[in-house]
Structure 1
Amino acid sequence: MASTIFLKSRNFTATFLLCRPYCSTVTNSRNLFSRISPLGDPSISVSPILENWLQEGNTLSAQHLQCIIKTLRNRRRFHQALEASEWMSSKGLCTISPTDHAVQLNLIGKVCGLDSVESYFQNLSDRDKTKKAYGALLNCYVREGLVDKSLSLMQKMKDMGFVSALEYNNIMCLYLQSEQYERVPSVLAQMKKDGVAPDSFSYRICINSYGTMSDLTSMEKLLEEMEQQSHVGSDWIAYSMVANYYIKADMKEKALIYLKKCEDKASKHNAVAYNHLISHYASLGNKRAMMRLWKLQKVNCKKQLNREYITMLGCLVKIGDLDETEKLLLEWELSGNFYDFRVPNILLIGYSKRGLVEKAETMLRSMIDKQKNPTPNSWAIIAAGYVAKENMEKAFQCMKEAMAVEAQNKGWRPKSNLISSILSWATNNRDLDEVEDFVNSLKTVISMNRDMYLSLIKMYVRCGKEVDKILESMRTDNIELDEEIGEIVNSRLQ
């Protein structure tokens, strides 16, 4: 799979786009979007808001609505973005552009799946099957990892003269996604042979493939080629990627060369670049460089967001400097930033991994005393620390605390090995009611699995209760009655 640094670089690109103004009708967009923004639940319809806007006599241009759709997409509210896009199409208030069709295709792929995407594309008129529509379809195929369909469509687009660097980049990403790293350089070579100039992202993808294959010589040669392209030029992200691979290869001197180039190339006002550099120096254990960059970041960037504190705190924990981590956490608490529990969770992890789990629990309880609402993951971090210290009683209690605040993060999923350890202990040390309550709590966040069923079966057999309904539920959930469970079930008959 593509390296973490590469994935981060793509996320950072998206971040840069988010910093741009969406459109010129900012004031109108904000007025309407201020009504849509609070509707965070994707099941809530945005159509009534749009209808009311018109009924109040307000204007709603294509550009205005496109701004809102783009904002919803950037916030990953794909259901509502698709609804707004379809509403725009159905109302006939404005001409639907090729870009609008492409956006709708992309959203259908994310929300409804590939069959719906292909159906939408086939139903487009020949006039609307533009380069952008084909490109959006290709993007959907790549996202689903469909190699054959992607290559077939790519060839068709070539024949129609519809390809650009974006399409070649998509195919290279497809090979990275499918772990066919060795095929990426050949796509770049074919791209150049076809007379399509690679862009900076093209080079980054290929640099990443060489790095993943540990072909550092080819990686460095490609970076040199990139530097020589006047239409591309090198960028700090490419240098960051190369430095990362030299760090992984334990080639410290080489890594330092490219970290210096990365710092020289990046804008001194770019907080994301500082985050990359600080992370790399943490991997090298270079606290002095980390602190120097953090100081520069605070001088040159207007404000340190939670993202910056998370990076720096995580790096301090990585090098084992908990004292400095504690100081920085106090600074964050006074920063006025939104209280995001992901920030203090980093110190909780640092304490727990170093056997200071009691200190971590004391810290968490002090935050609760200050009326801060912890996430379930905060308690799970401490539960894992207690499991590591074999204090299963405390681990069990902390995991129950996590379940009690699960509503704070509906997307939270406890780690399977943590749950398995706690369930195994609870089965041998708690009564049936407690185990059933614990399993029922777990069911609110994860599907019933083998360990949960095994725990219940053990308890039922021990208490002399029938297990037929449990076994029936297992069959419904397609969980196999394996040898261990079979022996436990059969033991009740002996």
Structure 2
Amino acid sequence: MLMLMDVKLLSKTLIRNVMWRTYYTNRTNKVTLYSKISPLGNPSLSLVPELEYWVHQGKKLRVGELQRIIHDLRKRKRFSQALEVSEWMKRKGVCIFSATEHAVQLDLIGRVRGFLSAESYFNDLRDEDKTDKTYGALLNCYVRQHQRDKSLSHLQKMKELGFASSPLTYNDIMCLYINLGQYEKVPDVLAEMKGNQVLPDNFSYRICMNSYGMRSDIEGMENVLEEMECQPHIVMDWNTYAVAANLYGKAGLTDKATNALKKSEKTLDKKDALGYNHLISLYASLGNKDEVLRLWSLEKTACKRHINRDYIVMLESLVRLGAFEEAEKVLEEWQSSGNCYDFRVPNTIIVGYIEKQLYGKAEVLLEDLIEKGKPTAPNIWGKVATGYLDIGETEKALECMKAALSIHVEKGWKPNHRVVRSLLSWLGDKGSVEEVEAFVESVRNVIPVNIKLYNALLKAHIRGGSTEINKVLDSMKTENIDEDEETKNILAMWQKLESA
């Protein structure tokens, strides 16, 4: 809770004038609240201390800027932080929440805490705040969490109140049936929508097209597309033709898919990188490398800046096509682009190498990244280790697993138990005591201690003529590790050697 002094500061710094209810832009390069919060990229990081500190410093607090922050956080799917800012605004009385602010907060509550919490928030609203916006936000929460009965019951209330007059409401219900796999019900919702004099929008038609595609009813999909093209209120966009191309492609109708992609490209804003990415992916799914490369060239010319997402899409497409030479060139472009490092970019081609059993290439690229001081990930090293082991390259598998264990940073990552057992068995038969002990120490940091680790240690000690077998056995007892059949055989061999 804020101290009394902080509350006074809040009241002094809060600008309620309507002129500040527009998005604030930093034209003088001054530090703004948005510029302080935006870089805090860790989704688990609380933003409240930054908000409190801003107020404590006596700086201006603008409603429009807070709304911009919430909008930006939602766009980046940082829903917990967006909810945190919204609840802080409400708690501090930064502004009187209208139905719009309530709808935003209700949506965020549903995403973060579930539909029951959203339902509770809705029920506590004043009657005047229960508008089409808040009703719609709750409906969206129900749909998102596949609550069929609640969604339909809520829709009925909205109809009774006259709140079901926008395509968004019906689109939600169509999405519900898509999510539930009840594709045959979607066209009926579109028909009801039109019967209630609610004009379908582009998204309405796309959902319906998808419902036919899911049932492999290409004719039905084409009928919807043709109807859409004839509607005077509809402006055909690249996304709709891309949906058609995707459905044609899945049905094996390559020529029709290509034709739809050509139509899509004609309606595409030439600076829309996201659109280019989508078309590139679709051409890759059709196996058309020439079109993938052509569109990439167009995108690079039309869009001044290429973010990591663009490179990932292009690399995924080339890897899917098996065009590794071209993919390697794109990776070089990314490395010299000046973009911030993101392991997902090189990882795309590394995964492709692994799928094609090009483990050597994958390992070389990983080692190159490490030499340049770039972080990698243990799971991908583990996959290379698995691949090497499967083709009998045990020593290389061991080196890759060591690399994975040395950079263990991912929560929940566990090495492949089969690979670990095989490597332990191999080390027990061939490795020195020091090698086995070092590997066991690394492994026990990420998986529970088990008898396989001790068996490897026992075998290495026996082969090396060690006198510390009893210490290993005492350690087993301390950690309550029971002997298995292999342990008994190892100890029997040791006793024979001792008595010889």
Q: Which band: TM-score by shorter chain?
A: 0.7 to 0.9
SS in 1 for 2:450: helix
Distance 1:270 1:281 in 2: 17
Q: CA deviation at 1:413?
A: 4.9
Instruction: Give the total of aligned pairs.
Output: 443
Q: Residue 373 of structure 1 is aligned with which of 372, 375, 380?
A: 375
Query: Do 1:435 and 1:456's aligned partners in 2 also have CA atoms closer than 8 Å?
Result: no
Q: CA deviation at 1:45?
A: 3.1
Change in 2 beyond 3 A, CA 1:349/1:23: farther
**Partner letter of residue 280 of structure 1?**
L
2:458 is the alignment partner of 1:456 = no
| Correspondence for 1:5 | none
| Correspondence for 2:498 | none
Change in 2 beyond 3 A, CA 1:37/1:303: closer
SS in 2 for 1:27: coil
Worse-superposed segment, 150-159 or 352-361: 352-361
**Partner letter of residue 419 of structure 2?**
I
Q: CA deviation at 1:436?
A: 6.4
**Partner letter of residue 119 of structure 1?**
S
SS in 2 for 1:273: helix
Q: CA deviation at 1:62?
A: 2.3
SS in 1 for 2:26: helix
Q: Residue 418 of structure 2 is aligned with which of 411, 414, 421?
A: 421
Once the two structures are superposed, what CA deviation does each residue of 1:296-350 show, in whole Å capped at 9, x if it has no partner?
Answer: 1111111222222222222222222222222222222111122222222222223
Give the TM-score normalised by structure 2. 0.79
Q: Residue 194 of structure 1 is aligned with which of 193, 196, 201?
A: 196
Query: Do 1:236 and 1:273's aligned partners in 2 also have CA atoms closer than 8 Å?
Result: yes
Q: What is the correspondence of 1:151-166 to structure 2 with a 5 Å cutoff?
A: 151-163=152-164, 164-166=166-168
Distance 2:120 2:104 in 1: 15
Once the two structures are superposed, what CA deviation does each residue of 1:89-126 show, in whole Å capped at 9, x if it has no partner?
Answer: 11223211111111111111222233322221111111
Distance 2:284 2:96 in 1: 52
Q: Residue 227 of structure 1 is aligned with which of 226, 229, 233?
A: 229
| Correspondence for 2:113 | 112
Query: Do 1:457 and 1:467's aligned partners in 2 also have CA atoms closer than 8 Å?
Result: no
Query: Do 1:355 and 1:389's aligned partners in 2 also have CA atoms closer than 8 Å?
Result: no
Query: Do 2:382 and 2:416's aligned partners in 1 also have CA atoms closer than 8 Å?
Result: no
2:43 is the alignment partner of 1:27 = no
SS in 2 for 1:134: helix
Distance 1:384 1:200 in 2: 47
Distance 1:360 1:138 in 2: 47
Query: Do 2:23 and 2:68's aligned partners in 1 also have CA atoms closer than 8 Å?
Result: no
| Correspondence for 1:140 | 141
Query: Do 1:426 and 1:435's aligned partners in 2 also have CA atoms closer than 8 Å?
Result: no
Q: Residue 329 of structure 1 is aligned with which of 314, 328, 331?
A: 331
Distance 1:105 1:30 in 2: 31
Query: Do 1:355 and 1:385's aligned partners in 2 also have CA atoms closer than 8 Å?
Result: yes
SS in 1 for 2:337: coil
Higher relative contact order structure (alpha carbons within 8 Å, sequence separation ≥ 6): 1
Query: Do 1:211 and 1:219's aligned partners in 2 also have CA atoms closer than 8 Å?
Result: yes
Gapped regions of structure 1 (runs ≥ 5): 1-21, 444-451, 472-485
Q: CA deviation at 1:211?
A: 1.0
Distance 1:196 1:166 in 2: 10
Change in 2 beyond 3 A, CA 1:319/1:130: same
Q: CA deviation at 1:201?
A: 0.7
Q: What is the correspondence of 1:70-469 to structure 2 with a 5 Å cutoff?
A: 70-163=71-164, 164-407=166-409, 413=413, 419-426=416-423, 428-429=425-426, 437=441, 440-442=444-446, 456=450
| Correspondence for 2:52 | 51
Distance 1:333 1:97 in 2: 47
Distance 2:190 2:480 in 1: 58
Gapped regions of structure 2 (runs ≥ 5): 1-20, 429-435, 459-472, 490-500
Query: Do 2:83 and 2:105's aligned partners in 1 also have CA atoms closer than 8 Å?
Result: yes
Worse-superposed segment, 34-43 or 302-311: 34-43
Query: Do 2:213 and 2:221's aligned partners in 1 also have CA atoms closer than 8 Å?
Result: yes
Q: CA deviation at 1:275?
A: 1.5
Query: Do 1:108 and 1:117's aligned partners in 2 also have CA atoms closer than 8 Å?
Result: yes
Query: Do 1:275 and 1:308's aligned partners in 2 also have CA atoms closer than 8 Å?
Result: yes
Query: Do 1:278 and 1:315's aligned partners in 2 also have CA atoms closer than 8 Å?
Result: yes
Distance 1:132 1:328 in 2: 45
Query: Do 2:402 and 2:439's aligned partners in 1 also have CA atoms closer than 8 Å?
Result: no
Once the two structures are superposed, what CA deviation does each residue of 1:348-394 show, in whole Å capped at 9, x if it has no partner?
Answer: 22322223211221221122112222233442442343244343553
Worse-superposed segment, 112-121 or 99-108: 112-121
Change in 2 beyond 3 A, CA 1:47/1:312: closer
SS in 2 for 1:264: helix
Q: CA deviation at 1:466?
A: 7.0
Once the two structures are superposed, what CA deviation does each residue of 1:154-210 show, in whole Å capped at 9, x if it has no partner?
Answer: 111111111221111111111111221222111111111122111111111111111
Give the TM-score normalised by structure 1. 0.80
Distance 2:216 2:478 in 1: 54
**Partner letter of residue 61 of structure 1?**
R
Worse-superposed segment, 431-440 or 292-301: 431-440
Q: CA deviation at 1:468?
A: 10
Distance 1:256 1:44 in 2: 45
SS in 2 for 1:195: coil
Distance 1:282 1:169 in 2: 30
